Structure 1
Amino acid sequence: MGFTVASFNVNGIRAARRRGFDEWLADRSPDVVGLQELRCPLSEVGEFPGYTASVDVGSIFGRNGVGLLTRVEPAAVRSWAVDPPKARGLGAFASHGRYIEVDLADRPLTVACLYLPKGGQPAHLQRPGGMREEMDGGAKYQRKMRFLAGFARELDRNRLAAARAGRDFTLVGDLNVAHVEHDVTNWRAARKMEGFLPEEREWFSSLLSPRRLVDVVRATHGDRPGPLTWWSWRGDSFTKDVGWRVDHQLSSPALARRCDAVWVDKEPSPESRLSDHAPLMVRYRD
């Protein structure tokens, strides 16, 4: 049977439920589900039959929010709201509902869920009339870069803590970075866009190593285009499969070696979409 971990940016859990999230969850029945962008107060997250929900909705109304659904109540839960990050540069994000992790009670595994800031273009790439958002002098870019620098240190600390406790470790979530050219359909044009800037991709590379963390999706899928996880709501990008992979699962080496399947659970039509993202699924051998 194996053990399946899903990562899903639901772009608002209330909206995703109206579109059929609960039916998807009951039908697919993954063992662990990492959720990003809950975007609602704790009182409106609701229950998930058959699962224990560990969540941090954050303090910014209608934005962010992360959660982990597990079949068995976790042995421990850590969120930045309760256990603030120790790495310099992350303190400003502690109350935003961006990171949560659990120690599973039924297997030696720590699962972490992250919703990383989207960011923006650096100042030298911003042009009047050439942006979807207002020019900000690179403020959102600098904010994201501070997060990246701090989170790399925090991630090292957390995966090493798991290892010392005899646990495997996996980070799931919307990292808002596409790592390699195969992760973006129109990668040449994307090189000057947030999420595919050279410095963001270099940061992503710095997280990976055969002795630290493995991108299990790329390692299993191979050196070929896709799989994509995000498509714009606009136009025909979903139908034509023109999109990005910004959703990832990075696992400790021993766990990565047990990965035997990865797939994106993309809906069959634009009308049946649950979110602008699709669930990223990874199955491990027991």
Structure 2
Amino acid sequence: MDMDAPTDPTFTVSAFTVASFNVNGIRAARRRGFDQWLQTRAADVIALQELRCPASELGEFPGYSVAADVGSVAGRNGVAVLTRTPAAAVRSWVSHPPRARGLAEFAAAGRYIEVDLADRPVTVASLYLPKGGLPADRQRPGSMREQPDGGAKYDRKRRFLTGFARELDRSRLAARRAGREFLLAGDLNIAHTQYDVTNWRAARTMDGFLPEDREWFDSILGSRRLVDVVRQTHGEAPGPLTWWSWAGQSFVKDVGWRVDHQLATPGLARLASAVVVDKEPSPDQRLSDHAPLVVSYG
């Protein structure tokens, strides 16, 4: 199996927009104005992460068909893909358990779902990658925001990353065999380059920007694999950012991270024409600690 087999260089598709948004709890986001954003933005496809509610409380998304995996842990995780036309196929890790070693423990957690668009030859996946921690030998009691855990969260994230890289290859190649491009959208809890973190030098010792996090990110990208369409479009310049702490003046001063990504197979990436982050004008208008990442294709 050629993991780096190229997609069709002549691929074309009618113009459409894809938004990726970690809502940090859909019920809370709705109270803050999510529904107005949904109707105003009017994206063709929307990948959501951190729904954090049972299926019975998801509510309606007017004008959209919903494919969701809310997970089995109350108040945690949950992913969805909203489409204007009902998806031709839906695959979650519940309906289609991951085959890669190390992912079984995450299968019911509501972290991954993918759909085949019915109106375009594209498969779109929504991912909420686990937040990790520091390895045991880098944990210093008294200098950490969280209690030392002996590296448990770090090890858990490593297991996910190792297995997911293999599972991602399978999904990407399955899409290619079906004549489809593939798009991974979501919160990866990793900033890839120095342009994705405001204070990147200090971040090098933090979860999400550790050397091993960035090396893993490198491993899933490539001119014949997946392309970071945001960096491709924005160029090698700081930003855009998609996450800011609720605390302090981070939002006002635009001190944050880009952990939200859209990674596309080359044929689709070539058609990415514009990137927008729907950052609210003031802190009291924020819908989440993340802002929607919107990419136009075609």
Task: Name the Cα RMSD after superposition.
Answer: 0.7
Report the equivalent of 2:10.
none
CA distance in 1: counterparts of 2:143 and 2:230, whole angstroms: 33
CA distance in 1: counterparts of 2:65 and 2:156, whole angstroms: 33
Matched, 1:137 2:164: no
* Residue ranges of structure 1 left out of the alignment (5+ in a row): none
SS of 1:155's equivalent in the other structure is: helix
Matches within 5 A, 1:207-286: 207-285=220-298
The alignment covers a number of residue pairs equal to 285
Matched, 1:35 2:77: no
SS of 1:202's equivalent in the other structure is: helix
Matches within 5 A, 1:13-52: 13-52=26-65
CA distance in 2: counterparts of 1:53 and 1:131, whole angstroms: 39
Report the equivalent of 2:219.
206
CA distance in 1: counterparts of 2:58 and 2:125, whole angstroms: 19
1:126 to 139, 145, 153: 139
Report the equivalent of 2:90.
77
Report the equivalent of 1:67.
80
Matched, 1:174 2:187: yes
% identical equivalent positions: 74
Post-superposition shift, 1:124?
A: 1.4
SS of 1:117's equivalent in the other structure is: coil
SS of 1:107's equivalent in the other structure is: coil
SS of 2:154's equivalent in the other structure is: helix
CA deviations on 1:183-229 (whole Å, 9 max, x unpaired) are 00011111010000000100000010010100000000000000000
Matched, 1:87 2:100: yes
Alignment TM-score, normalising by the size of structure 2: 0.95
2:294 partner letter: M
Runs of 4+ in 1 over 4 A off after TM superposition: none
CA distance in 2: counterparts of 1:234 and 1:202, whole angstroms: 29
CA distance in 1: counterparts of 2:205 and 2:101, whole angstroms: 28
Post-superposition shift, 1:62?
A: 0.2
Report the equivalent of 2:4.
none
Matched, 1:195 2:208: yes
SS of 1:69's equivalent in the other structure is: strand
CA distance in 2: counterparts of 1:149 and 1:179, whole angstroms: 17
CA distance in 1: counterparts of 2:159 and 2:150, whole angstroms: 16
Post-superposition shift, 1:2?
A: 2.5
1:189 partner letter: A
SS of 1:196's equivalent in the other structure is: coil
Matched, 1:160 2:150: no
SS of 1:200's equivalent in the other structure is: helix
2:122 partner letter: L
